[in-house]
Amino acid sequence: MEDDVTDRRSFLRGALAAGVGGVAGASVAAGASAASGGGDDHRDAPPPLRGFHGAHQAGVEEAPLPRTTVVAFDVIAGNRRELTDLMRTITDRARALTAGGVPDGAGITGPPADSGVLGPSVPGGNLLVTVGVGASLFDHRFGLAARRPARLTAMPTFPNDALDPAWCHGDLSLQLSARDPDTVLHALRDIARHTRGAAQIRWRIDGFTSPPRPSGTPRNLLGFRDGTANPAPAELGRLVWTDDGGTFLVVRLIRMLVEFWDRIGIGEQERIIGRARDTGAPLDGDRESDRPDFAADPVGKIIPLTSHIRLANPRTPATAGSRILRRGFNYDRGVDAVGDLDMGLVFTCYQRDIPSQFEAVQHRLKDEPLVDYVRPFGGGYFFVLPGVRDAGDHLGRALLS
């Protein structure tokens, strides 16, 4: 056992050193590559994402990118110092991966410093990294019980859930998002490599967003637009961000019983959701952006009282504070053991307070008609840490200091 601890500590010290060096001269190399025409030559490439540093972590306010992976880790670090080393390493790797550049060269006999998935130069400005902590991190192991963020708990089982423990909770959450799947996989391999011996993957699921078809908000795999009524940017300070620059993340892994759903009429589908499938408009409107007028339809003649949009957001003064910033990603895991399609939604949402926002919405949705066509099977609650402000800062610094 003592040898195992020594090996783990040696690995952590090596990983931390690699994290500091990481991508050799990341910003300098990236600039040199661009100046010399090296790297990927995408003439019509979209503009780069925001930089790594800031009061908030990236990946919350930004519109969802086409590819993502959501990962939960169990921390196996032996003590608080090793946990701090782990958080420094994750920070250094995220900083290097988002900046881009030419990886360090391999030694004569040592393994290469980079997987090579993205070629000899890692493109910068194409990746979002978002890290959170779960309630289980605040147990007896690291002396952090008194520092657990207020209202952070383990995700409970709600009515209509079919949760699989293997797909729930975690000490840490990591979300990697990019425009291309190889960028996501490259970052995951890099972070997993540098944190081996301190954290191990508990569960992971890949997701994607569809392009708008034909316009407006992207669609989920039920065919309906997903995320239409999110709060405006000016409301995020009140509804999403905590005073220290963090936010609470809810992840829900929801299988959609698409073969069953595909057998019911379009009219019934639209009444279950409360919107027209083609346009995304509420059933009493013409455009996706139209606000449903529930007060003018008190008995639900046009938009049923049990419709998803009416229960989730009744649009009353009493429920205005329970709105959430919703981010949905589709997933497809092939088929299950009996040949049914295994696909659905990686639902994520952000808020200042889970009980008064997500849980309030979830309780209103109890036994809605949609539950016959979806099966939540996993996920968890996490606190997305405040952002990394500069090169001397690291994720979780205030928590661990």
The confidence band for 12, taking pLDDT boundaries of 50, 70 and 90, is: low
According to the model, what pLDDT value does residue 19 have? 42
Nearest to 229 by CA among 306, 285, 309: 309
According to the model, what pLDDT value does residue 78 have? 97
The first and second tokens of residue 129, run together, are 């990294």
Q: How far is CA 145 from CA 76, 85, 153, 381, in A?
A: 17, 19, 12, 17
Q: Is 65 exposed, middle or buried (0-12, 13-18, 19+ CB in 10 A)?
A: buried
The helix-helix angle for 80-99 and 181-195 (nearest 10°) equals 150
In angstroms, rounded to a whole number, what is the distance separating the alpha carbons of residues 131 and 71? 10
Nearest to 393 by CA among 174, 28, 90, 76: 90
The first and second tokens of residue 114, run together, are 């980079």
**In terms of domains, do 15 and 97 share one?**
yes
How many structural domains is the chain composed of? 2
**In terms of domains, do 170 and 94 share one?**
yes
DSSP three-state, residue 27: helix
Buried b / exposed e across 86-125, counting CB within 10 Å, b at 16+?
Answer: bbbbbbbbbbbbbbbbbbeeeeeeeeebbbeebeebbbbb
Does the pLDDT value for residue 220 go beyond 60?
yes
Three-class secondary structure assignment of 306-372: CCHHHHHCCCCCCCHHHCCEEEEEEEEEEECCCCCEEEEEEEEEEECCCCCCHHHHHHHCCCCHHHH
Range of the domain at 289: 255-381
**In terms of domains, do 377 and 288 share one?**
yes
- Please report whether residue 344 resides in a domain: yes
- Please report whether residue 371 resides in a domain: yes
**In terms of domains, do 376 and 294 share one?**
yes
In angstroms, rounded to a whole number, what is the distance separating the alpha carbons of residues 219 and 330? 9
**In terms of domains, do 195 and 260 share one?**
no
**In terms of domains, do 189 and 275 share one?**
no
Does the pLDDT value for residue 42 go beyond 80?
no
According to the model, what pLDDT value does residue 21 have? 42
- Please report whether residue 353 resides in a domain: yes
Q: Where are the alpha helices (H) located in 37-106, listed in sequence order?
A: 80-99
**In terms of domains, do 172 and 276 share one?**
no
Percent above pLDDT 90 for the chain: 84
pLDDT tens digits, one per residue of 173-219: 999 999 999 999 999 999 999 999 999 999 999 999 999 999 999 99
According to the model, what pLDDT value does residue 325 have? 98
**In terms of domains, do 193 and 127 share one?**
yes
Does the pLDDT value for residue 9 go beyond 90?
no
According to the model, what pLDDT value does residue 48 have? 74
- Please report whether residue 230 resides in a domain: no
Q: What is the mean pLDDT of the chain?
A: 90
Residue 380 Cα to chain centre, angstroms:
11
Phi, psi of 193 (to 5 degrees): -65, -45
- Please report whether residue 390 resides in a domain: no
Q: How far is CA 135 from CA 144, 198, 249, 291, in A?
A: 10, 18, 12, 37
- Please report whether residue 250 resides in a domain: no
* Cis upstream peptide for 376 (omega within 30°): no
Mean pLDDT of 270-299: 97
Cβ(258)–Cβ(222) below 8 Å: yes
Does the pLDDT value for residue 18 go beyond 90?
no
According to the model, what pLDDT value does residue 374 have? 98
Does the pLDDT value for residue 396 go beyond 70?
yes
Beta-bridge partners for 292: none
- Please report whether residue 322 resides in a domain: yes
Q: Where are the alpha helices (H) located in 154-180, listed in sequence order?
A: none
Q: Lowest-confidence range among 2-16, 56-70, 116-130, 308-322?
A: 2-16
**In terms of domains, do 84 and 202 share one?**
yes
**In terms of domains, do 69 and 180 share one?**
yes
According to the model, what pLDDT value does residue 109 have? 79
DSSP three-state, residue 172: strand
In angstroms, rounded to a whole number, what is the distance separating the alpha carbons of residues 11 and 17? 10
Mean pLDDT of 248-260: 98
In angstroms, rounded to a whole number, what is the distance separating the alpha carbons of residues 348 and 326? 6
- Please report whether residue 327 resides in a domain: yes
**In terms of domains, do 280 and 355 share one?**
yes
Residue 360 Cα to chain centre, angstroms:
21
Nearest to 273 by CA among 370, 360, 361: 370
Does the pLDDT value for residue 32 go beyond 50?
no
Nearest to 83 by CA among 125, 154, 141: 141
According to the model, what pLDDT value does residue 51 have? 84
Mean pLDDT of 374-386: 98
**In terms of domains, do 204 and 76 share one?**
yes
In angstroms, rounded to a whole number, what is the distance separating the alpha carbons of residues 364 and 311? 6
Type of residue numbered 329: F
The helix-helix angle for 2-21 and 181-195 (nearest 10°) equals 130
Does the pLDDT value for residue 294 go beyond 70?
yes
pLDDT tens digits, one per residue of 73-83: 999 999 999 99
Mean pLDDT of 117-121: 95
According to the model, what pLDDT value does residue 47 have? 67
According to the model, what pLDDT value does residue 246 have? 98
